[in-house]
């Protein structure tokens, strides 16, 4: 049964709910990840093969490189309908990302003789992590590869854990091929992240690693971030629903269940002022979970029982404070009439407005990206996008007259900071 919690201090209780759900001892995973990384650094390809046998329970595999023949075979094992779905998802996301990058083109500034041109350049080589194991995620390779392709990335590398038969889910391979992946490897977990970060004889190191994963992947990304750029620590999914007394409790219950089915450590909750709707949602959840034969029931039950909550606030101010401190990955707003309250929401990875915009659809078909900030990172960043795959390079030019005009400013600030040679570099150009 989901917990109904009376909120008295929104910020403190939002933090407590997160701590209770995510307060995991990472010392053991960290030690294990460091050992795995040492193996990959020392043994390269051979270390990868050892890790595949140990962590993926794959006994025999000719190569961890996905061949052209395997991609061709993958197409033979998916339906035309599945291919159309992947292409539809790709086109929606492509259109959304292209609009972003188009807005950054032709940025030129001319101020008092100082000419600045801001040029968008793509990162050259990126690695995209696609989870495996408890489910298959062809949609994730779409979410990672499409923004990279739109950005103009030349080398897109994808990795995903192999299945026990030593192969990759065919639709995931097909999705990667359709979306422009240049290299695909049957590796995963911390050893896969290490291979992308440090390289081996077979796998050339990348300039950035993106994509979600479990605890070991998140720890690995955190560790390698000192050596290679990463997008974010994207962990288990989160959903927070803002509801009022007029909201449909069944829709909310279905949405909570749809996110809870990912894994037992998902974090799903509701925030509301209405005790009545809180009770109705709780009853609806119990009815659906206990009296119907829902898919992935074990994950749903554990997730809702251990991490699920309904936060009962006293007023709108408490609601916005709770939401902004909680900073959810997905935020559904069922109560759409309160425009002033909605304007106060500033921390959420993705905001979905109205009862007919469920978070589950945003994972696939809307043109939004489902690689979103978790762990409260929505306070400082947004979804994975084309912006993660580009650099905004500044090119500056000015003449001698302009340099002379700013010379007094340079003299004052360099003397203030004690960096006199900075000014001498200017003075030397102006002295005959």
181: left (phi over 0), alpha (psi -120 to 50) or beta: beta
Report residue 121: phi and psi, to 5°: -120, 135
- How far apart are alpha carbons 386 and 390 in whole angstroms? 7
pTM check: above 0.75: yes
- For 174, the enclosing helix (H) or strand (E) is helix 170-178
- For 116, the enclosing helix (H) or strand (E) is strand 114-122
- How far apart are alpha carbons 21 and 360 in whole angstroms? 22
Contact 205, 199 (CB under 8 A): yes
Residue 349: what pLDDT? 93
Domain 44-230 adopts which CATH fold?
A: Rossmann fold (3.40.50)
The class that CATH gives domain 3-24+236-380 is alpha beta
Residue 234: what pLDDT? 73
* CATH 3.40.50.1980 domain position(s) in the chain: 3-24+236-380, 44-230
Residue 135: what pLDDT? 61
Tell me the CA distances in angstroms from 193 to 29, 55, 206, 214, 247, one per residue in order: 14, 14, 10, 12, 43
Sequential pLDDT tens for the chain (432 residues): 798 999 999 999 999 888 766 667 788 889 999 999 999 999 999 999 999 999 998 877 889 999 999 999 999 999 999 999 999 999 999 999 999 999 998 889 999 899 999 999 999 999 999 988 656 789 999 999 999 999 999 999 999 999 888 889 999 999 999 999 999 999 999 999 999 999 999 999 999 999 988 889 999 999 999 999 999 987 778 999 999 999 999 999 999 999 999 888 889 999 999 999 999 999 999 999 988 889 998 898 898 998 999 999 999 999 999 999 999 999 999 987 777 888 899 999 999 999 999 999 998 888 999 999 988 889 999 999 999 999 999 999 999 999 999 999 999 999 999 999 999 999 999 987
Beta bridge partners, 392, equal: 120
- How far apart are alpha carbons 331 and 374 in whole angstroms? 12
Catalytic residue positions, numbered: 329-330
Of 209, 150, 143, 144, the C-alpha closest to 362 is: 143
Tell me the CA distances in angstroms from 169 to 159, 173, 321, one per residue in order: 12, 7, 43
């Amino acid at each position: 049964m989901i917990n109904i919690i009376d909120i008295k201090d929104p910020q403190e209780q939002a933090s407590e709910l997160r701590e209770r759900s995510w307060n995991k001892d990472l010392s053991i995973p960290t030690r294990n990840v460091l050992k795995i990384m040492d193996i990959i650094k020392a043994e390269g390809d051979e270390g990868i093969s050892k890790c595949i046998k140990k962590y993926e329970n794959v006994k025999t595999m000719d190569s961890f490189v996905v061949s052209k023949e395997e991609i061709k075979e993958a197409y033979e094992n998916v339906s035309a309908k599945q291919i159309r779905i992947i292409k539809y998802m790709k086109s929606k996301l492509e259109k959304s990302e292209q609009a972003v990058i188009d807005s950054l083109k032709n940025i030129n500034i001319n101020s008092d003789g100082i000419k600045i041109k801001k040029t968008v350049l793509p990162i050259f080589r990126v690695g995209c992590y696609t989870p495996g194991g408890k489910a298959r995620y062809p949609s994730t390779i779409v979410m990672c590869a499409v923004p990279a392709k739109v950005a103009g990335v030349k080398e897109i590398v994808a990795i995903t854990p192999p299945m026990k038969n030593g192969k990759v889910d065919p639709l995931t391979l097909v999705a990667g091929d359709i979306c422009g992946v240049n290299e695909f490897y049957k590796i995963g977990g911390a050893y896969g992240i290490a291979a992308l970060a440090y390289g081996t004889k077979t796998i050339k190191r990348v300039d950035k690693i993106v994509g979600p994963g479990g605890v070991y992947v998140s720890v690995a990304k955190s560790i390698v971030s000192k050596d290679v750029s990463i997008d974010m620590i994207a962990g288990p999914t989160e959903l927070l629903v803002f509801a009022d007394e007029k909201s449909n409790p069944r829709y909310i219950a279905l949405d909570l269940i749809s996110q809870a089915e990912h894994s037992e450590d998902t974090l799903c909750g509701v925030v509301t002022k209405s005790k009545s709707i809180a009770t109705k949602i709780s009853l609806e959840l119990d009815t659906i979970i206990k009296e119907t034969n829902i898919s992935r029931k074990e994950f749903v039950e554990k997730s809702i029982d251990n991490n699920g909550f309904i936060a009962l606030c006293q007023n709108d101010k408490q609601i916005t404070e709770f939401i902004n401190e909680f900073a959810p990955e997905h935020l559904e707003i069922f109560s759409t009439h309160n425009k002033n309250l909605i304007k106060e929401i500033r921390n959420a990875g993705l905001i979905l407005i109205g009862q007919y915009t469920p978070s589950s659809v945003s994972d696939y078909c809307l043109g939004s990206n489902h690689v979103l900030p978790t762990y409260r990172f929505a306070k400082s960043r947004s979804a994975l996008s084309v912006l993660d795959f580009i650099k905004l390079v500044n090119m500056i030019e000015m003449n001698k007259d302009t340099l002379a005009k700013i010379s007094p400013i340079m003299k004052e600030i360099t003397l203030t900071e004690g960096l006199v040679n900075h000014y001498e570099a200017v003075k030397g150009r102006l002295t005959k």
